[in-house]
């Protein structure tokens, strides 16, 4: 199938997550890949939802495969009305409109056709995941099922970067902190133990952490934000419980176990922590020869020579890189980064055509 038509066909599968319903889209692509001689397996996530893995005929010859990966789910439409039908895949002025046009059905289409074109000679494993937009559930399930067997040569994630190769992103470590106290009448606070006071002191100490000893050469320092706080039932009682939500964006080199110990030490016995989300980031070495080759072959398609940079958002790259023991990895896809999750999302057709050329060249490295 033609690249542009495949992109449009994929947009017409409604895979808004929640609930996702990625299975029909995955089976459609699985048939195409099986017809092309790929060994296709489906890995259930939940009813109506599967991850797809497809190995090219050249896998198994002793050479390590390159992994191309993208997600099949999209985010919801938002409350603003769309000018273009979100599943209509309308083609207007060199663009295709629809939910997932940039993030990232165009990337999936280019990856599938690049793999089919090169797969007879190049060892390539395609991983098309469900549930990425709600915390990389699909890839995390694959890792838990033990089907991500290494070693692999390298990883390419087709998220929207306008074909710019990004080589890392921060991790996310979300925690709830809880302070406990002892209630008393509001007129006699000295008889109680104020949980809000403890939480406030913990929050003050946490927000003063500057992570200056943990700066990463590519991704900079970790950041810490307190996003929520609740405590107390009524104004004339001493509150015996307060909770706050902490969002730490982390960098490789400060593992989440060590980070938790640092946060606990900072707060002493004021609060207790509970983990809400725990996803480590990744960063490829910019001096790695494969990374350098990808920079060189992407450069003609960009207005500039790529320099080592990371993404601001979290992707399947991190759990995949961890499962495969950190091979060199890039995030590179034809979608426009500014279009991800937007009303009237579109992708520029020329970028999809460039992406398939770049992916094919990567598979020939």
Q: Give contact residues for Zn ion (rule: CB under 5 A).
A: 103-104, 159
Closest approach of Cβ 332 to Zn ion, in Å? 13
Closest approach of Cβ 97 to Zn ion, in Å? 17
Instruction: Specify the DSSP class assigned to residue 49.
Output: E
CB closer to Zn ion out of 66 and 102: 102
| Cα–Cα distance, 36 to 156 (Å, whole number) | 21
Neighbours of 125 (CB within 10 A): 25
Closest approach of Cβ 104 to Zn ion, in Å? 5
Closest approach of Cβ 75 to Zn ion, in Å? 8
CB closer to Zn ion out of 56 and 106: 106
CB closer to Zn ion out of 137 and 159: 159
CB closer to Zn ion out of 103 and 345: 103
CB closer to Zn ion out of 238 and 340: 340
Closest approach of Cβ 172 to Zn ion, in Å? 15
Angle between the N-to-C axes of helices 23-35 and 106-118, in degrees from 0 to 180, rounded to the nearest 10: 20
Task: Report CA Rg, the chain.
Answer: 23
| Cα–Cα distance, 330 to 166 (Å, whole number) | 5
| Cα–Cα distance, 263 to 275 (Å, whole number) | 12
CB closer to Zn ion out of 160 and 328: 160
Nearest in space to 310 (alpha carbons), one of 225, 222, 247: 222
Neighbours of 319 (CB within 10 A): 25
Closest approach of Cβ 365 to Zn ion, in Å? 24
Closest approach of Cβ 245 to Zn ion, in Å? 24
| Cα–Cα distance, 15 to 53 (Å, whole number) | 18
**DSSP H/E element including 124:** strand 124-129
CB closer to Zn ion out of 104 and 332: 104
Instruction: Render 208-226 in DSSP notation, one character per residue.
Output: T---GGG-BTTTB--EEEE
| Cα–Cα distance, 346 to 86 (Å, whole number) | 10
Neighbours of 12 (CB within 10 A): 14
Please check whether residue 219 is in contact with residue 284, taking contact to mean a CB–CB distance below 8 angstroms: no
* Residue whose beta carbon is closest to Zn ion: 103
Instruction: Specify the DSSP class assigned to residue 266.
Output: H
Please check whether residue 291 is in contact with residue 309, taking contact to mean a CB–CB distance below 8 angstroms: no
CB closer to Zn ion out of 103 and 240: 103
Closest approach of Cβ 340 to Zn ion, in Å? 6
CB closer to Zn ion out of 252 and 335: 335
Closest approach of Cβ 223 to Zn ion, in Å? 21
Percent helix, percent strand, percent coil in the chain, to nearest 5: 35, 25, 40
Please check whether residue 41 is in contact with residue 122, taking contact to mean a CB–CB distance below 8 angstroms: no
């Amino acid at each position: 199938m033609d690249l542009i038509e495949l992109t449009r066909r994929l947009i017409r599968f409604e895979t808004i997550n929640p609930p996702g319903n990625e299975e029909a889209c995955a089976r459609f692509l699985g048939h195409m890949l099986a017809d092309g001689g790929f060994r296709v397996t489906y890995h259930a996530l939940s009813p109506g939802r599967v991850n797809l893995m497809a190995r090219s005929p050249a896998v198994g010859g002793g050479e390590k495969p390159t992994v191309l990966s993208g997600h099949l789910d999209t985010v919801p439409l938002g409350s603003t009305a769309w000018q273009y039908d979100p599943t209509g895949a309308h083609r207007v002025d060199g663009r295709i409109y629809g939910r997932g046009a940039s993030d990232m059905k165009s990337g999936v289409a280019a990856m599938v056709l690049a793999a089919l074109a090169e797969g007879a000679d190049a060892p390539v494993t395609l991983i098309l995941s469900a549930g990425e937009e709600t915390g990389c559930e699909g890839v995390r399930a694959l890792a838990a099922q033990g089907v991500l067997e290494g070693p692999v040569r390298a990883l390419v994630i087709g998220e929207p970067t306008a074909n710019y190769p990004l080589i890392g992103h921060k991790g996310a470590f979300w925690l709830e902190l809880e302070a406990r106290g002892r209630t008393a009448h509001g007129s006699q606070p000295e008889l109680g133990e104020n949980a809000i006071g403890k939480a406030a002191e913990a929050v003050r100490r946490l927000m003063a952490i500057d992570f200056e000893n943990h700066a990463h050469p590519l991704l900079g320092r970790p950041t810490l934000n307190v996003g929520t706080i609740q405590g107390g039932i009524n104004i004339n009682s001493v509150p015996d419980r307060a909770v706050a939500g902490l969002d730490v964006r982390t960098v490789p080199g400060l593992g989440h176990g060590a980070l938790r110990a640092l946060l606990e030490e900072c707060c002493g016995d004021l609060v207790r922590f509970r983990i809400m989300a725990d996803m480590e980031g990744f960063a490829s070495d910019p001096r790695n020869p494969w990374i350098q080759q990808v920079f060189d072959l992407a450069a003609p398609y960009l207005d500039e020579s790529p320099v080592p940079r990371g993404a601001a958002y979290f992707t399947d790259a991190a759990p995949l890189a961890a499962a495969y023991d950190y091979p060199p990895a890039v995030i590179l896809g034809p979608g426009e980064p500014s279009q991800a999750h937007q009303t009237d999302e579109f992708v520029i057709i020329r970028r999809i055509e460039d992406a398939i050329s770049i992916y094919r060249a990567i598979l020939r490295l």
